[in-house]
A and B are shown apart, each in its own frame.
Chain A
Amino acid sequence: MTPTDEPHAGTALNTGIPVELLAEAAELGPGIGPYQLAWRRLRRSRVSLAFGGLFALIVVLCLLAPIYSHYIAHIGPNAEPYTFTIGGKTEDVLNSVGIPIGPTWQLGPYFLGADQNNRDVAVRLLYGGRNSLEIGAAATLFTMILATICGLLAGYFRGLTDGIISRVLDVIWAYPVYLLGIMLGTVIEVRGLGPFHNTTLMTTAAVIGFVYIPYVAKPIRAQVLALREREFVDAARQQGLGPLRIIVSEILPNVASTIIVFIPLMLANAVLTEAGLTYLGAGVRPPNPSWGTMISDGIAQIPASFSNVLIPGIMLVLAVLSVNVFGDGLRDALDPRAKIRLAKE
């Protein structure tokens, strides 16, 4: 699926580009491909780009966790020292009633303070971010792949295939998201389910990914249902192409923009869901850090050390917000009906 610089007239065979974008690009004259058009629109939205940059910054920071831990903080994410030294003095990390020290605001150990188990909050924030984002990415991948397959198959083949797939999706979607997440998480934790026997980051990701499949599959299915009636699909059929070939080369490219638009949305959802599931006890298990574990540990300590709630919480909100805003901008750029916005600019 490669964008071309020359819009095809008539059919969109083998271009892999939404028909509407093609039409618009054609309107604007030769030399402007539809994806380039989308990119241009995206570039113009400075807000979206700014937030996209913010998200990239957060990702980079989290990836640098081991460097921060080793060279700056001199504490690992799971270390629980009884005392620490700052400015030449040795202090207890927990006071006599178990309240951890707050942020020191000095580069070194406990820059952002300690949590209730004497661990360095800043170090865990970065390692935890890595875990949370990993889970988010894996869950998103899981959802997108399975939902696309379900949507394509159900929409194209209709009939019995659609019947079965849609009913299964309905069953999944009938449960409130967190309920299903807790149920699956608990089942895996206590007994194991299929190939999953221990709760790891990946099992949490799989649970979250699974729960959101209907959310993505249904719109894709609806789009495929409409697309299969189009002339170019008919043309392909008349050319003697088999159903799978048609799905992959005709239909899939046309739902590509929908898929692309869903990705940041699902990433944001997955990171939020991980936090919620962990708060309810069915997500990431200790001692693995994640933003969710940090926030829920912090909430258990209220009213002490509220910084331990605020810091990971704000980080989480910033990450999710930046993905959401960027994703919104992406959707506007790819959505041909954003004409209205263009007209007003």
Chain B
Amino acid sequence: MARFVVRRLMVMIALLVAISIVTFLAFVVVLPGSDQAAMIAGRLANPAEVHLISVKYGFDRPIWVQYVKTMANIFDGSAYSYQSSFNVLSQIEAGFPTTLSLALGAGIIWLGTSIVVGTLAAIKAGRYTDQVLTVLSMIGVSMPVFFLGAVLIYFLGYKAGVIPLGGYVPLTQSPSQWLWHLVAPWFTLSVLFIGIYSRVLRSTILDTINEDFVRTAKAKGLSERQVLLRHILRNSLVPIISLWGLDLAQVIGGGAILTESVYNLHGIGYLVYQSVTRLDTVTLLSVVMLTALAVVVIGALTEIVYAFLDPRIRLQ
């Protein structure tokens, strides 16, 4: 068991290193040192100044030296964006409450709704309710997130004045405003996930229904409801929960770029998007590392838990 855990950890670390190298290289390719320096120096700088900046930030050093230096700065928290000089950690801190509010709220909503919808669709499989729910789920996964957001903002915001036109109000400042500004983003972000999760849950439940242990339970005389809750759901929820953890980690780490853009929420996703458009390597690298870390850690933890529960996997 210990060997398995250690192996997984080593793979995890190797993965993180690979991700950091790929991200770093992508931006060094885009903006070789001289261009980065020119961009930082601004419109009116002369070549001598640009060279000074190159030296100051180390753009004239070999790539691997730059990489090591950048990563070192990120890990001790001293990395700062070249364009605005804002410390990267403080930018992430500034955006974190927004993204966390978005992610957790939406996560709870989509998980709960998916369980209800998926279970209902499975129970009534093949019948009218199932078909309606299927179509709704289909529409959910077929709609671009920013289109849905724009439609809501236009009809419910500009026209009806029922929702705000975007923006974020901190929880500490005004809980009711905080909630009101997040309702539409939560809904928009959830729609996509509900469509996916409810379908997955539905087919997992339908598969489980045929399993032997369910038939045994029924034979033992347990009611349908008891069978459903105690056996089927418990088994079917496991893959969903691990998927949920991964998706949540991705959203927190800046995966909700579209939702945050369209609703003007200045969170981590927005920070990511800004970093790419401004070609701000350091900020982007830091955020990507954080997300990758979260995703990889949760993935590894899930595998370790599965291995703990199911010895067959360990021996693979």
Contacts and interface: CB of A to CB of B under 8 A. Distances in A.
Nearest to B146: A279
B171 interface: no
B147 A174 contact: no
A178 B138 contact: no
A183 B154 contact: no
Interface in B263-310: 272-273, 276-277, 279, 284, 288, 291-292, 295-296
14 contacts: A171-B15, A174-B296, A175-B19, A183-B26, A190-B31, A275-B146, A280-B258, A282-B276, A295-B147, A303-B154, A328-B134, A341-B125, A341-B126, A344-B126
B273 A280 contact: yes
Given A174-B296, A176-B250, A186 B261 contact: no
A318 to B, nearest CB: 8
B253 interface: yes
Interface stretch (A113-121, A149-157, A306-314): A306-314
A310 B159 CA distance: 15
A171 B261 contact: no
A235 B29 CA distance: 50
A275 B144 contact: yes
B125 A324 contact: no
B18 interface: yes
Contacts of B279: 186, 190
B107 interface: no
A340 B292 contact: no
Contacts of A303: 154, 158
Interface string B17-37: 011001100110111000000
Nearest to A344: B126
B164 to A, nearest CB: 14
B112 to A, nearest CB: 23
A321 interface: yes
A312 to B, nearest CB: 9
Interface of B: 11, 14-15, 18-19, 22-23, 26-27, 29-31, 125-127, 131, 134-135, 138-139, 141-147, 150-151, 153-154, 158, 206-207, 209-210, 250, 253-255, 257-258, 261-262, 272-273, 276-277, 279, 284, 288, 291-292, 295-296
Contact of A176 (B22, B30, B257): B257
A268 interface: yes
Nearest to B250: A176
A174 B258 contact: no
Given A176-B291, A178-B258, A337-B207, A309 B139 contact: no
Contacts of B292: 174-175
A102 interface: no
Contacts of B254: 176, 179
Given A171-B15, A296-B146, A344-B125, 7 more contacts: A167-B18, A178-B258, A190-B279, A279-B261, A280-B273, A309-B147, A337-B207
Contacts of A202: none
Contacts of B207: 337
Given A178-B255, A313-B151, A276 B158 contact: no
A67 interface: no
A321 B138 contact: yes
Nearest to A313: B147
A313 B262 contact: no
A316 B291 contact: no
Top-5 shortest CB links A-B: A176-B255, A321-B142, A344-B126, A320-B142, A313-B147
B15 A299 contact: no
A191 B279 CA distance: 12
Nearest to A51: B138
A6 interface: no
Contacts of A279: 144, 146, 258, 261
A324 B142 contact: yes
Given A276-B146, A309-B151, A193 B29 contact: yes
A306 B197 CA distance: 31
A182 interface: yes
A309 B154 contact: yes
